Amino acid sequence: MKLHTVAELLSSDITLQDIEIKGWVRTFRANRFIALNDGSTINNIQCVVDFENTDEATLKRITTGAAIHIKGELVESQGKGQSVEIQVKTIDILGDSHPDEYPIQPKKHSFEFLRENAHLRTRTSTFSAVMRLRSSLSFAIHKYFNENGFYYMHTPIITGSDAEGAGEMFRVSALDAKNPPLTEDGKVNYKEDFFGKETNLTVSGQLEAETYAMSLGKVYTFGPTFRAENSNTSRHLAEFWMIEPEVAFMDLAGNMDLAEDFMKSVLSYVLEHNMDDLKFLENRLLDEEKTKPQAERSEMSLIEKLKFVVDNNFKRVSYTEAIDILRNSKPNKKKKFNYIIEEWGADLQSEHERYLVEKHFKCPVILFDYPANIKAFYMRLNEDGKTVRAMDILFPGIGEIVGGSQREERLDVLKEKMKALDIEEEELWWYLDLRKYGTAVHSGFGLGFERLVMFATGMGNIRDVIPYPRTPQNAEF
Ligand code: 4AD
Ligand code: MG
C-alpha cells in the first residue's frame, strides 16, 4: 500500500477504503480525536480512534509529538472545520514523546523560547509554514533565472578577497593551533592562514560572478555568505544566504528593471502556490495586531502587502532627491529622527529608509546614484565625479532588501579608486584582468534571502526565518 500525505487526503473529494499514513501527533482529545501532521501542509488531519477496541497502553502512548503509523479509511467528516477525516483501523506508535518532557506542547510559545529549541520549533505550525515558504521562494528564484537564460554559478566559500571592502570577515585558518608559524617579531603569522595565504569566509560572491558574466553573459549565485559584524538587530545575521545575479552589457536602468521583475515574480509564485501557509501566517499577524493600539495597526494584511508589491511599480528616486525629502520631512512629533540629515553625502540610517518607504512613498523604493564615498569600490563612477551607479531597494517593514550597482568597467578609473581606498592591485589582479581583456558595461545586485523570507512571511525577526540562526549570541546548533 502506498503511503499517503495529509495534503493529498485533505484535498481528496472521494472517500478511500484503504489508506495509510505516518506523521506526528499535534493533539489528542477525548481519547478519540488525533490531529495528525506530516509536514506536507499546514493543516492537520483528524484521525478518529475507535477507543473501545484499542488497548489502554496504546491510547496512553498517543501523545503530542509522538510519531505514529495509521491504517484506516478516509470518510466524510461529521465534525465542523474539515471535510474529511480518517477512521482508524490500526495504529502503531513509531516513536514515543514523553508528555512531561516534550517542550513543544500545544499552547502558545514565545519566539525566544522556540529559538532555544530551534531543533524542535519546526514542529509548530508557524515555523513549518515559514520553512515551507522559504523552500518555495528558493525554488521560485531558481525557476525565474532558469526561465530567463541565466546560468547558476557556485562561487567559493573560502576566499582571499573582501568583496565589499568592509573588513567584516571571518578568518579561515588551516594553521596548526599548537605550533603556528610566527612573524619575525614572534606573533602568529596569519598571512600563512591557508597554505601560504590569508583567507576568510566569503562576504559576497559578486566579484567571482562578474568573471563568469563576462563569458556566459547572464549568471547568478545563490549561496551562504558571512559577515563578522557585531550587529544585534532583527535584520542582521552573521551567516545569511544571498542571491546575486550578474549580467554583461546591462546598465543600471536594466539592473533596476531586472530586480523589480524578479522580486515580483518570486512573490507571485508563493501567492499562487503557498496560499494555505500564507493565510495561516496572515491570521497569526492579525491576532498580533489586535493587541496593538488602533493607530499602530497595519493598514494592509500580509497577503494584501504581497499583492501590492506584485501589482505596483517600485518608485525610483535618486539619493539626492531622497535627501531633499528627508530634510523637508516633518517626522511626527512623538517619533523624531535621531539624526536629521543635513549634509549631502551622509549615509541613510534604517529609520530614514523606513520613513521614505512607509510614510512618504508608501511603496517599495529603488534609491540610486549614491555618493561614491559611502559605497563599495567597484561601483561605476558617474560623470559628476561624486556619485556612483548604485541602487538599493527598500521594502516596507524591512528597509534595504537588495543592494546592487553598475560595475566600474574602466581599468584606469578602477585602479585609481582602489588606490584611494588602499586596496592592493596584487590582491585583485584577476578582477582587474576583466577590465584589461574585453571589458564591457555590466551590472548586478544582491538580494538578502532571509530579508525576502521575512517580507513574505511577515515574521519580525530574521532569526525566525532561517533554520539555525548565526548571531553573536547564537551558534549552538
Ligand atoms: O548590500 P550588500 O552588502 O551588497 C553586496 O554584498 C553586493 N556584493 C551585492 C551585489 O551587488 N552583488 O548585501 C546585499 C543584501 C542586502 O541588501 C541585504 O538584503 C543582505 O544582502 N544583507 C544581509 N542580510 C542579513 N544579514 C546581514 N548581515 C546582511 N548584510 C547584507
Ligand atoms: Mg547594502
Answer whether 4's CB lies under 8 Å from 62's CB: no
Residue 402 CA to ligand 1 centre (angstroms): 7
Kindly report the backbone phi and psi dihedral angles of residue 151, in degrees, each rounded to the nearest multiple of 5, phi listed first: -100, 140
Nearest ligand 1 atom to the CA of 236 is 26
Ligand nearest 166 Cα, by number?
1
Residue 361 CA to ligand 1 centre (angstroms): 23
- Signed CA dihedral, 290, 466, 238, 345: sign only: negative
- Signed CA dihedral, 425, 430, 436, 442: sign only: negative
Q: Please report where in the chains the cell 499546514 appears, as a residue.
A: 42
Per-residue pLDDT of the chain (477 residues; tens, 9 = 90+): 689 999 999 999 888 999 999 999 999 999 999 999 999 999 999 999 998 889 999 999 999 999 999 999 999 998 787 899 999 999 999 999 999 999 999 899 999 999 999 999 999 999 999 999 999 999 999 999 999 999 999 999 999 888 888 778 998 888 788 888 888 898 888 777 777 788 899 999 999 999 999 999 999 999 999 999 877 899 999 999 999 999 999 999 999 999 999 999 999 999 999 999 999 999 999 999 999 998 888 889 999 999 999 999 999 999 999 999 998 887 766 666 777 777 899 999 988 999 999 999 999 999 999 999 999 999 999 999 999 999 999 999 999 999 999 999 999 999 999 999 999 999 899 999 999 999 999 999 999 999 999 999 999 999 999 999 998 777 667
pTM, entire model: 0.95
Q: Ligand 1 atom 29: the closest Cα is on which residue? A: 236
Nearest ligand 1 atom to the CA of 393 is 17
Q: Ligand 1 atom 6: the closest Cα is on which residue? A: 204
Superfamily grouping for domain 6-102: Nucleic acid-binding proteins (2.40.50.140)
Query: Could you tell me if the CB of 389 is within 6 A of ligand 1?
Result: no
Question: Order of strands, edge to edge, in the sheet holding 199-201?
Answer: 158-159, 199-201, 171-172
Residue 447 CA to ligand 2 centre (angstroms): 9
Query: Could you tell me if the CB of 227 is within 6 A of ligand 1?
Result: yes
Which contiguous run of DSSP H or E holds residue 345? none
Residue 264 CA to ligand 1 centre (angstroms): 19
For the domain spanning 125-168+203-464, the CATH number is: 3.30.930.10
Residue span(s) of the chain under CATH 3.30.930.10 come to 125-168+203-464
Q: How many other C-beta atoms lie within 10 A of the C-beta of residue 443?
A: 29
- Probe ligand 1: pick from 134, 220, 226, 240, max atoms within 8 Å of CB? 240
Q: Give, in degrees to the nearest 5, the angle at Cα 419 between 418 and 424.
A: 75
Residue 30, pLDDT score: 92
Query: Could you tell me if the CB of 431 is within 6 A of ligand 1?
Result: no
Q: Ligand 1 atom 5: the closest Cα is on which residue? A: 446
DSSP 67-95: EEEEEEEEEE-SSSS-SEEEEEEEEEEEE
Q: Ligand 1 atom 28: the closest Cα is on which residue? A: 236
**Nearest-angstrom CA–CA distance, 278 and 237:** 24
Query: Could you tell me if the CB of 399 is within 6 A of ligand 1?
Result: no
Name the DSSP letter for residue 314: P
Answer whether 344's CB lies under 8 Å from 384's CB: no
Count CA within 13 A, CB hemisphere, residue 186.
0
Residue 333, pLDDT score: 61
Residue 377 CA to ligand 1 centre (angstroms): 15
Q: Which three cell numbers stand for residue 39?
A: 509536514
Query: Could you tell me if the CB of 220 is within 6 A of ligand 1?
Result: no
Residue 20 CA to ligand 1 centre (angstroms): 46
Instruction: Quote ipTM for the complex.
Output: 0.99
Answer whether 404's CB lies under 8 Å from 443's CB: yes
Kindly report the backbone phi and psi dihedral angles of residue 124, in degrees, each rounded to the nearest multiple of 5, phi listed first: -90, 160
Q: Ligand 1 atom 24: the closest Cα is on which residue? A: 448
Q: What is the 3-state secondary structure (H, E, C) of 226-248?
A: ECCCCCCCCCCCCEEEEEEEEEE
**Nearest-angstrom CA–CA distance, 105 and 114:** 11
Residues 6+ apart with CB under 8 A from 192: 175, 180, 181, 198
Nearest ligand 1 atom to the CA of 392 is 17
Q: Please report where in the chains the cell 547564537 appears, as a residue.
A: 474
Ligand nearest 446 Cα, by number?
1
Residue span(s) of the chain under CATH 2.40.50.140 come to 6-102
- Probe ligand 1: pick from 207, 394, 451, max atoms within 8 Å of CB? 451
Q: Give, in degrees to the nearest 5, the angle at Cα 399 between 353 and 448.
A: 140
Q: Which three cell numbers stand for residue 13?
A: 473529494
